[in-house]
Amino acid sequence: MKAKYLKELRNLLESDEFKEWWSKYNEKKVEISHLESSIDEMMANENLHTFRANLIQKRALDRIEDSSQMEALAAKWLAEASDMDNKSYEAVAKFESKRVEVSELWFRVGALDHEVEVLKQDIETLRKRLESASDRQEVMNLRTALKSKEQALESVSKEFAKVSEQYEREAARKKKLWEDVEMIWGISIEYNLKVAEAQMKAKKFKREAEQLLKESNYDSKRASDIRAEIEQKKSEKEQAEKYVQELLRLARERFDCIAEDEFLYWQQKENSQFIYCVPLITDLDNYNIEIRALNVYQVDRSKGVTFIEPLPGEKRIREEEDTRLDDFFTKGRKGINQQG
């Protein structure tokens, strides 16, 4: 670093050589800033695609699991339906056997009922003949025949009552057997419908899983492509940063200064305690005063940029301007006009 007078420094900052250097430096810093913004944006985009890929892949795996569960349920219900079909064959066979038995009983009931009616008619006829008979032998014969018919009627009536009771009982059993058949058929139909629905759900879940996996693969590939672009941008940024470092090295050689990332420094010839510093950035927030690129400031050689000061002459001008401004508001326009 070579000590300079302020005038020498200002002449240097106004020189074509410095302006050319600054143009390259500023252009490259702007490029780095754009690259950093681009990298940040691409990293956010990469993270989004990676997150989406993982999330969608999980959903796809859940759908595959759902499909497997539906297939397992379909297999279970198909076995249940098959079991119900076998039970229905047995139930139908029992019903058919009972139906034949009940039909035979019904025919017997009908035959016995007819026989009872015939016997009743015969008895009625015999009684009428007995009432009109006058011959003793005929009366005896009629009485014998009537007694025989009445005994037959009593016997047939008992048989009719017994068979009728048996018919009612077995008919009720036949009805219950048919209800069992219908119940088994209903359960079998329900299981078959469940099987069909579960099979369709399994297929639907598989298709959804396939579609989700395609989406997940797309997002994974997009994230991979963006990652490659990020690496390219990082490489470009690294090259730009190397170029900036090379420009700072050239500044040290050409301008006899200390060149850091954000400031150039020259020793003051006017006062060895202070250093001229020229910001390469504009920063209105992070230093003790607002600094602007290529303006000349001074810093204490031991404190550096932890405390930046305007140049003494510029400080006085600003203080005078502040005083005039204060006078304007404290004395008012009248006092100023009087001075005029």
337, 258, 287: which is closest to 3 by C-alpha? 258
pLDDT given at position 233: 95
Top mean pLDDT of 85-89, 143-147, 298-302 is at 298-302
pLDDT tens, position by position, 19-64: 999 999 999 999 999 999 999 999 999 999 999 999 999 999 999 9
- Could you give the angle at which helices 6-14 and 16-132 cross, rounded to 10 degrees? 60
Separation of alpha carbons 299 and 317, rounded Å: 19
For the segment 167-209, what is each residue's pLDDT rounded down to a tens digit? 999 999 999 999 999 999 999 999 999 999 999 999 999 999 9
Q: Which two tokens stand for residue 176?
A: 């219950």
pLDDT tens per residue, range 257-271: 999 999 999 999 999
Q: From 300, 67, 329, 3, select the one nearest 203 (Cα to Cα).
A: 67
What six digits make up the tokens of 203?
Answer: 């297929």
- Token digits of residue 300: 């204490």
CA distance 23 to 36: 20
pLDDT of residue 328: 43
CATH of domain 51-229: 1.10.287.1490
Secondary structure of residue 301 in the 3-state scheme: coil
Confidence of residue 130 (pLDDT cuts 50, 70, 90): confident
Q: Is the pTM higher than 0.75?
A: no
Cα–Cα distance between 199 and 83 in angstroms, integer? 19
The sign of the dihedral angle between the CA atoms of 243, 248, 250, 251 is: positive
**Residue in the structure block whose two tokens are 């009366």:** 139
Pair 17, 283: CB distance under 8 Å:
no
Dihedral class, residue 257 (left if φ above 0, else alpha if ψ from -120 to 50, else beta): beta
Tell me the backbone φ, ψ of residue 321, rounded to 5 degrees: -65, -40
For residues 213 and 221, the answer to whether their CB atoms sit within 8 Å is no
Residue 332 has pLDDT above 70, yes or no: no
Can you give the pLDDT at residue 334? 43
Mean pLDDT of 318-329: 44
Contact yes or no for 243/28 (Cβ under 8 A) = yes
CATH 1.10.287.1490 in the chain is located at 51-229
